[in-house]
Amino acid sequence: MLVIQAVIIKKFSMKNPNFKLLGILTAFIFAITLTSCSSDDVDSTDSTIRLAVNTTANSRMASDISFDSGSITIRELVFDGNNGDVSVTRTKEQIATIDYATGVVTPEVSVTIPAGTYEDVNLGIELQDVNDNPTVVINGSYTNSKSEVISVRFELNSGEVFEANAESVIIPAGTDLVGKITFDANSWFSTITSNQMDNATRTDGVIVISESSNSAIFNIVADRLDVETQAKFQ
């Protein structure tokens, strides 16, 4: 079994031209795992990389915020790398929805690549971005200092690209690989305090956190993710 683990490097491109972050940000902290599960019954010179998702739905933070539902819309999965002297690129254009509560990707998204030893490997996932509808919507709740439970909604609207890179990956023939992404909404809000949430503006009773609503909280989350941006492989 071959396991490669990485923290995704996030390229953050907001629609609002006044919202700028320096460098490469991590808008979501991801872990990607490519797991090669060989099968004695498979005789093939190709392998398949299938997108799978983990989430931290229903886990509660110290600041009494939890996230339990939502959706993330993607439009493309791309693999590229050098297999010896041959450059291999595979793109799957497929609009799919990730259920934050379950991690289920509908429909399934995968790419098929030739087996081999790859150098300079890149696996990228691009979010859908065709209109003003948020690409990412995560729903949860916040329990304030008065023990009142208030609905929370996080919205992100942009065509983000998430990338993982490896110097070298051995992909055996006839294997089913899983590109596993972990969406951790709790990490996105790890530095937001109860006082900030207590004083947040509500829209129809909901604390909406986006570029245009409670943008100060939104910006703090993004700055924290900037500090945590790094990539490593094990």
Share of the chain above pLDDT 90, in %: 35
Dihedrals phi, psi of 83, to nearest 5 degrees: -100, 90
Looking at residue 101, its pLDDT comes to: 94
Quote the CA–CA distance of 220 and 192 in Å, as a whole number: 8
Instruction: Give the largest Cα separation in the chain, rounded.
Output: 64
**Closest alpha carbon to 45 in 183, 215, 174:** 174
More confident: 124 or 101: 101
Tens digit of each residue's pLDDT (9 = 90 or more) over 30-67: 344 444 444 444 446 899 888 888 787 877 665 689 98
Pairing outcome for strands 105-106 and 31-37: unpaired
pLDDT at 52: 81
Q: Which two tokens stand for residue 149?
A: 């439970």
Residue of higher predicted confidence among 92 and 166: 92
- The residue behind tokens 């971005």 is 129
Q: Could you give the C-alpha distances from 137 to 172, 185, 208, in angstroms and in order?
A: 37, 11, 10
Q: pLDDT at residue 204 above 90?
A: yes
- Report how far residue 180's alpha carbon sits from residue 117's, in angstroms, rounded to the nearest whole number: 20
pLDDT at 86 over 80: yes
Instruction: Assess whether pLDDT exceeds 80 at residue 114.
Output: yes
d(Cα 4, Cα 205) in Å, to the nearest integer?
43
Task: Tell me which DSSP letter residue 231 carries.
Answer: -
pLDDT at 26 over 50: no
Q: What is the mean pLDDT of the chain?
A: 76
Q: Per-residue DSSP letters for 104-166? A: -EES--EEEEE-EEEEEEEEEEEE--SSSS-SEEEEEEEE-TTS-EEEEEEEE-S--EEEEEE
* Domain positions in the chain: 2-60+71-130+158-192
pTM of the model: 0.75
Q: How many Å apart are CA 221 and CA 217, to the nearest integer? A: 6
Query: Tell me: the pLDDT tens digits for 154-166?
Result: 988 776 777 777 7
- For position 182, what pLDDT does the model report? 73
Q: Using CA of residue 197, residue 193, residue 68, residue 227, what is the dihedral sign?
A: positive
